[in-house]
C-alpha cells in the first residue's frame, strides 16, 4: 500500500450472515477517492458498521470485492492489512494497562520500530491531536472521554496509514466536545489528507464531516452516494429525503458561505457587517433577527466586499 492516501473501492461487496435472512450489506458498490472522507450513514440495520469492518476483514466478505489501491483486500496478509489501516471505534478501546505513549506506539512496536522512533512519533501525534506532551505517561483511566478519543485517533495514525476506518468515533461524547472534536478532525484532515471511511447514524455529523455521503437503507442497500450538497438538494427518493430531514433546505444553507455568492456593490450605510466565511444559514438568522433585507459582507481585514440581499440567500 502506498503511504500517502489510498483509493478504496467497494465492488458489489456483499455480506450475508449465516442463519440470518437477507443481506447485511447488499451488493455495495462505491469508490472513495484517495484523500477523501466518505461517511456511511443510515438507520440501524443499514449495515454501516458491517460495511466498515469488511474493509479490514474483521468481518469476511460473502461475495464481491473490496480493493485498496487496486489490490483486493484478500490478497493482503490479514495482519499486515490491519496494521496498515487506522482503526478508531466508538468506545475507543485504549489498552487500560498501557500509558498513552505505549498505546500510541502499539502498531509501530509490532512493526519493530525502535523505542526512540516511537517516543518521537508519539510526541508528534499528541501535538497533532491537540494534547499536551505531559499526557504521554498517563494511563487511559486518567483521561476524559474526549481526551481518550483523541488518543484513539493518535493511535490509529501512529503508523501513518493511507486509510482510516472510523466507527462512530464521536458517538459517545457529549455534544459540545463532540462539535469541537469534529472541527479539529476536519482541520487535521486538511493537513494529513487520509482516505477515511467514517460511520455515523447522525445525518448532521455526516453533512459536516463528509466529502461524500453514502446513505444505506435497511438490508444494507445503498440509497444514494453523493456530496452533501447534492444529497440535500437532490435526494433521489422519498427515503433519502426523509432521512435527511424536512429542514434539508436549511442544512444546505449551512454548507455555503457568503463569499460564494455574487455580491452587489455596497451603497447603503448601517447594514449589519458579516465576514465572508459566514454560512448562509447564520447570515439568514442575522437578517431575520435584525429585520434587515440586506447585509454587508466584509473581508478578513474588515473592508467591505459588497452587499447581499435576503432573497439572494434563499436562491
Partner 1 sequence: MTGLRLADGPVIPNFGKPSACLRDNGWFCTDWIHEHWGDTLQPALIQHIQLTLIAVGIGFVIAFALALVALRFGFLDPPLGVFTDFLYVIPSLALFQLLVPLSGVTVTTVEIALVSYTLFILYRNIVVGLRSVPPDVLESARGMGLTRRQTFLRVELPLALPAILSGLRIAVVATISIATVAAFLIEDGLGAPIFAAIGTPDLFKTELVAAGGLAILLALSAEALLALAQRALTPWNRVR
- Interface residues with partner 1 (CB under 8 A) are 56, 58, 79-84, 87, 89-98, 106-107, 110, 138-142, 152, 155-156, 165
CA angle 64, 66, 68 (to 5 degrees): 160
Indicate the SS3 state at residue 57. coil
CB–CB of 208/39 below 8 Å? no
Q: 165 vs 261, which CB is nearer to partner 1?
A: 165
The answer to whether the CB of 66 falls within 8 A of the CB of 10 is yes
As measured in angstroms, the least distance from the Cβ of 96 to partner 1 is 6
CA 287/CA 211 separation, integer angstroms: 29
Smallest separation, CB 310 to partner 1 (Å)? 49
**Which lies closer to partner 1 via its Cβ, residue 137 or residue 234?**
137
Using the minimum distance from each CB to partner 1, give the nearer residue, 28 or 164.
164
Half-sphere exposure of 301 (CA within 13 A, CB side): 2
CB of 104 to partner 1, least distance (A): 11
Euclidean distance between CA atoms 214 and 224, whole angstroms: 6
Write the burial class of residue 297 (CB in 10 Å: 0-12 exposed, 13-18 middle, 19+ buried): buried
- Minimum Å gap between C-beta 105 and partner 1 is 11
Nearer to partner 1, 165 or 287 (CB): 165
Asked if residue 305 lies in contact with residue 274, where contact means CB atoms within 8 angstroms, the answer is no
The minimum distance between CB 1 and partner 1, in angstroms, equals 13
Q: Which is nearer to partner 1, 28 or 166 (CB)?
A: 166
Amino acid at each position: 500500500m502506498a503511504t500517502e492516501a489510498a483509493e478504496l473501492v467497494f465492488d458489489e461487496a456483499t455480506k450475508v450472515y449465516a442463519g440470518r435472512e437477507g443481506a447485511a450489506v447488499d451488493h455495495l458498490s462505491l469508490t472513495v477517492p484517495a484523500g477523501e472522507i466518505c461517511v456511511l450513514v443510515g438507520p440501524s440495520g443499514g449495515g454501516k458498521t458491517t460495511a466498515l469492518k469488511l474493509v479490514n476483514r474483521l468481518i469476511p466478505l460473502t461475495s464481491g470485492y473490496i480493493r485498496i489501491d487496486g489490490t483486493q483486500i484478500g490478497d493482503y496478509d490479514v495482519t499486515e492489512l490491519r496494521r496498515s489501516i487506522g482503526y478508531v471505534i466508538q468506545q475507543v478501546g485504549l489498552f487500560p494497562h498501557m500509558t498513552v505513549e505505549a498505546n500510541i506506539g502499539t502498531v509501530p512496536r509490532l512493526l519493530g520500530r525502535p523505542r526512540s522512533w516511537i517516543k518521537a512519533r508519539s510526541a508528534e501525534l499528541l501535538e497533532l491531536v491537540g494534547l499536551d506532551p505531559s499526557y504521554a505517561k498517563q494511563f487511559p483511566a486518567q483521561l476524559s472521554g474526549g481526551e481518550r478519543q483523541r488518543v484513539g485517533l493518535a493511535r490509529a495514525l501512529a503508523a501513518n496509514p493511507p486509510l482510516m476506518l472510523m466507527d462512530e468515533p464521536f458517538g459517545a461524547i457529549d455534544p459540545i466536545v463532540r462539535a469541537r472534536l469534529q472541527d479539529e478532525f476536519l482541520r487535521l484532515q486538511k493537513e494529513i489528507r487520509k482516505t477515511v471511511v467514517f460511520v455515523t447514524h447522525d445525518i448532521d455529523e455526516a453533512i459536516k464531516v463528509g466529502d461524500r455521503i453514502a446513505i444505506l437503507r435497511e438490508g444494507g442497500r445503498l440509497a444514494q452516494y453523493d456530496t452533501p450538497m447534492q444529497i440535500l438538494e437532490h435526494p433521489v427518493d422519498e427515503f433519502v429525503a426523509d432521512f435527511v430531514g424536512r429542514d434539508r433546505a436549511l442544512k444546505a444553507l449551512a454548507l455555503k458561505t457568503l463569499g460564494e455568492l455574487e455580491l452587489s456593490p455596497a451603497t447603503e450605510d448601517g447594514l449589519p457587517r458579516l465576514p465572508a466565511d459566514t454560512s448562509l444559514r447564520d447570515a439568514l438568522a442575522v437578517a431575520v433577527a435584525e429585520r434587515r433585507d440586506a447585509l454587508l459582507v466584509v473581508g478578513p481585514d474588515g473592508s467591505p466586499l459588497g452587499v447581499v440581499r435576503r432573497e439572494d440567500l434563499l436562491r
